[in-house]
Structures are given as structure tokens and as C-alpha cells.
Copies of this chain bind each other. A is one copy, B any other.
Amino acid sequence: MPRDLFIYNTLSREKEKFQPLVPGHAGLYVCGPTVYGDPHLGHARPGVVYDVFVRLLKDLGYKVRYVRNITDVGHLENDSDSGEDKINRKARLEELEPMEIVQYYTIRYHQAMAALNTLPPSIEPRASGHITEQIAMIQQILDTGMAYEINGSVYFDVERYNREHRYGILSRRVLEDLQTNTRTLDGQDDKRSPFDFALWKKAAPEHIMHWPSPWSEGFPGWHLECSVMSSKYLGQVFDIHGGGMDLLFPHHECELAQNTVTRGEHSVRYWMHNNLITINGQKMGKSLGNFITLEELFSGKHPLLTQAFHPMTVRFFILQAHYRGPLDFSNDALVAAGKGLKRLLQARLVLKKIPVQEGLAASDTLAEMEEKIYRALCDDLNTPVALAALFDMAGWIQATSDARKPIAPQDRDVAERIYDRVAEGILGLKEETAQDHLPLVEGLIEMILELRTRARSRKEWSESDRIRDRLSDLGVKIKDSKDGTDWEF
């Protein structure tokens, strides 16, 4: 039996004990990126948070199916149903096939997620790959009377739905209040009510991405794909649905309504939402000049940054905050995070040098820290508390080393296990290795060759030969000539 895990369920606004639908298995659906632009800070947080959550579930013994979609069609401008498809617009600007843009940015997204050491999801379905299934679900919703067709488009009837169910149950919004505070439509749309949302949109003739359907040549509404793909790969009812707070309304509210009509109430058992990132206290936005892509972050090429930040620093920075809490990004905060991560990982090297003495009694300290870490992680993924305990352990290691005391084999084993299973395994933190050590290798070899030349000038031939042999052992072959010394691997 896995250890108890508690998850804050947005639906109930309470921490609840996770009880999987199928014992030993966990199904998770997370809203993935819309691939019409470079991955940015806003993608990093859910990427890392749900990665740690999946790693925790696996560590606890669950067999996890982690589904994260790629929105490659149907995401309408400004989350309203007017305006053209964002991907489509970019396609025409660049005179490219939309799917070329999708391919380009999907690869960029995957590269950034890999740099952040997130594991790929088990399944990564695409909206454009599930048109058949989306059409089938629209028909199903039409059959219940909860949607209506008008001029080739199909809309979900929110008022009708709200009479039988509760629209707003997830985001705690009340439809009547929303309606009071919203101006009426300006007639550009066919919808009966401003809160109705598109299930299928008839494509204008110039619209590139479209498919045949019983209603028109068109494209599916954005909210639909997640209802369709989550049920297809996880089942009519499944365990956990995650995503960013920005998706709570209208996206997840609409998804829940679609689910309820087609799959009944409680189709998703736990809804998780990560909070958003602010930058120097402000919301991130292109117009504010504080929009930072992950490439800019990793290379340091942005006016708000004084240096390049290793992806591991970014990962660590994200985990320093609880996923439901705010996270304010700043250059200084990242610099501090980089130092903290370094300190944490260096204690592991210190640990390796502390002598182990057989027969010494194990202290309770480390076992208590391990328990504290798991308790924190299982308490709604409380990574900051887990990290604090990891730093306590790092401090204990440093103090033990400074005191030049040996440790018991059990203590060493527990500390190693915490580094292996928690720091690296669950939190996914590892050494910030430079991508390419080649320039350093070249510099070091040149240095050694100079030292060897110096030895030869002193006629220390055996020292010179010894250096040559040692280099050879390391796979570096050197060749002396009148012009100096060359080397090669």
C-alpha cells in the first residue's frame, strides 16, 4: 500500500486523500502548450510541477499514465470564439503551412522541457489528431439537447446546462452574476448568449485549417479537445486533471460542463491548479516588456537578466515555492536559487568523504528528515518544506564533516537514498553540467603540455614521460615535433 497522499482539490477547495480509481494506478491529464510561439516562463512552472508530481506518484509505487496534450488547432484569440485561429494567423504571416509552425514550436517546447529535466508524458495527443473523436462528442452533446447548431457552427448552451447542473462549480462563478456584468454581444457572432462556447466553428473560406463535419467544413472549439482526449486515454472517469490557474475559467469550467453532459458528474476526481508566475511583481505580458522565453533565460539574453541561468536553477527556483502559491520571478531571486542548489548538491560530495564506521549507532536525525520530506511531498506536494528538510540534511552533513566525526553506515545509506530518490528522483535536481566541456578540456591539456615543456627544459625526462603516459591513460595522445607538441584524442 502506498503512503497516503493528499491533494488539494480545486473542486472541493479542500485537501483530500488521493484514492485512485484503480488501486496502484494513477491517471493524470495535464493541459499542455499551444504551439504557436516559443516556450516561456509560463510553460516552465506547470512543466516542472506536474513532472515532480508524476515522479512522486511513481516513487510511491503507482503505475502512472500521464497524458499531456499539444494544442495544434482551435485555440481562439483572447479565449473568445471570435477571431481566427492563432496558429492559422501566424501561418499566413510567415507564408508557411500551419503544421510547419506546429512542428517547429513543438520541437522547441520538447527541447526546453528536456533541459528542465522533465520526463516526457506517457501520451502526448494532438488536437488535430482527434477530429473524428471531437465530432463524435459534439454529436453526443447535440443529442442531449445541451448544444445547438446555427449557420454551420455548434455552440454549447450554457444557460440550459446551468438549469440542470451548475455552470461555475469549479471556478466558483455564478452564471447570473457573470451575465449581469457582461455587455451584450455586438452581433458579430451567432451565439444565443455570450457565455455559450463553440464546440464547432464553420471555417471562413480563407481559413487554412479545417475539416469536414456534419455541420460544416470547420474546426473544433478549443475546450473540446481536452474532454475528448482525456476520456479517450484515461477513461470516462479518471483520477486527476491538472493545469494552470489561468485555465480554470473558462477552459476547465467548459471542459467540466462537456464532461458532465457526456460522461456524468464527477468525471474528474481531483482537479489540480498551479498558480502563475509574476515577473518583478507584474503579470508577464508581451506589452509589458517582461515576457521571457526559456531560451532567453537559459542564455541570459534579455534586458531583465544579468546572466544565463542553467535550467536546473530554474527548476530549483520553481520548487522553492508551493505550486499553489505565487512565484515572483526576478534576476536576483534566480541568482540566489542557483547558489542554494549548488550548496545542496555539494553537500553530497562532502558526504562521500566522511568516513563510515561500522558498528556505530545510527542517529535518528536523518531518518526523521527523510520522514519529514515524504510527509511534506505527500501533503499536497509541499516542495518548499521538503527542500527545507533537504537543506537541514545538507547542514548536518557539513557539520559532521567539519567536526571530523565518522558516521554510521545506516546514516550514510539514508543520506544517499535521500539524494538518490528525493533530490534526484522526485525533485529531478542534478548537477548543473555545462553542455560542452571541450574548451575546458583543451585549456587543461594546453596547461599540462606547458608544464611538461617546463620539465623538459629542466631536463626532467622521466617527469616528461610520466606526463605523456598519464595523458595517454586518459585517452589523450601527444606528438612531439620541432615545432612543439600536438595532441589528439
Contacts and interface: CB of A to CB of B under 8 A. Distances in A.
Contact of A447 (B132, B135, B448): B448
A212 interface: yes
Given A132-B211, A211-B132, A233 B444 contact: no
Contact of A121 (B102, B103, B440, B444): B103
A359 to B, nearest CB: 24
Contact of A120 (B103, B136, B433, B444): B103
A129 interface: yes
Contacts of A135: 132
B123 A99 contact: yes
Nearest to A213: B132
A465 B144 CA distance: 82
Contacts of A451: 448, 451, 467
> SS class of chain A's interface: helix, strand, loop or mixed?
helix
Interface string A126-161: 101111110110000000000000000000000000
A472 to B, nearest CB: 12
Interface residues of A, number: 47
A307 to B, nearest CB: 14
Contacts of A476: 440
A100 B97 CA distance: 28
A22 interface: no
Nearest to A111: B114
Interface string A22-57: 000000000000000000000000000000000000
A99 B120 contact: no
A440 B122 contact: no
Which of A107, A123, A211, A471 counts the most chain B CB atoms within 10 A? Answer: A123
A120 B111 CA distance: 13
Interface of A: 65, 97, 99-100, 102-103, 107, 120-126, 128-133, 135-136, 211-212, 233, 346, 433-434, 436-438, 440-441, 443-445, 447-448, 451, 467, 470-471, 474-476, 488-489
Give 5 nearest A-B pairs by CB, closest first. Answer: A129-B129, A437-B437, A444-B444, A443-B474, A99-B123
Given A99-B125, A103-B121, A440-B476, 14 more contacts: A97-B123, A99-B233, A100-B123, A102-B123, A103-B122, A103-B123, A131-B132, A436-B437, A437-B437, A444-B444, A444-B445, A444-B448, A447-B474, A448-B448
